[in-house]
Amino acid sequence: MALSRLSVTVGQKGSGGGHAKYILAFDQYAKKIQELEARDWGNLPEWAKDDPVKFFEMADKFERANGTVYRDHLISLPRELDAEQRYKLVEDWIKQELGDKHAYAFAIHNIKAKDGKEQPHLHLMFSERIDDGLNRSDPQQYFKRYNAKNPERGGCKKDTTAKTAEQRKNE
């Protein structure tokens, strides 16, 4: 029997770096490595290219007070698929939902469920900020408030524009 769960949460300022370490099983969470099936990241700016924890730590530091640092999707994955198939499914989901515009990190965890079988699930955390192709060479500028008149002077725009119910339904 297939299990399903989809949960979307918002990460407030101060929680990004720690959450990234947790899902990716870095630092004090390295003991979780036995339940880590896969991890990866992408679309990070040059100053954090190979370090998703640094990206989310800088978001914690430079995002505005009471700002959203990340969105988190927790999604059950099919037991019926093997690890390689699950990874491919996650890659396809990220391409569809985030494309190349949002910095992200993900991990596939696979723990034992109460019934003794696998319980694979995805943790996907991503920034609401949209990469517009402008070079923002330092984290402070990247997370600065967006400047519509002079985008090169401000930070990356956030993808939180108010949408109508019909627009959300279509998406």
In a domain, 60, yes or no: yes
Clarify whether 22 is annotated catalytic: yes
Q: Per the domain annotation, does 82 fall within a domain?
A: yes
The predicted-structure confidence for 109-128, as pLDDT tens digits, reads as follows 998 888 888 899 999 999 99
Residue 21 pLDDT grade (very low, low, confident, very high; cuts 50, 70, 90): very high
In CATH, what number is assigned to the domain containing residue 45? Answer: 3.30.930.30
Query: Could you say which of 22, 87, 142, 146 is catalytic?
Result: 22
Q: 1 lies in a domain?
A: no
Q: Where are any strands of DSSP class E within the chain?
A: 6-12, 36-42, 68-76, 104-112, 118-126
Residues 6+ apart with CB under 8 A from 84: none
143-153 per-position pLDDT tens digit: 999 988 998 88
Residue 72 domain flag: yes
The pLDDT confidence band at residue 169, using thresholds 50, 70 and 90, is low
For position 112, what pLDDT does the model report? 85
Residue 90 in domain: yes
Give the DSSP H or E segment for 52: helix 52-62
What's the rounded mean pLDDT across residues 141-168? 81
Query: Does a structural domain hold residue 109?
Result: yes
User: What is the model's pTM?
Assistant: 0.88
Give the domain extent around 116: 6-170
In a domain, 138, yes or no: yes
What is the number of structural domains in the chain? 1
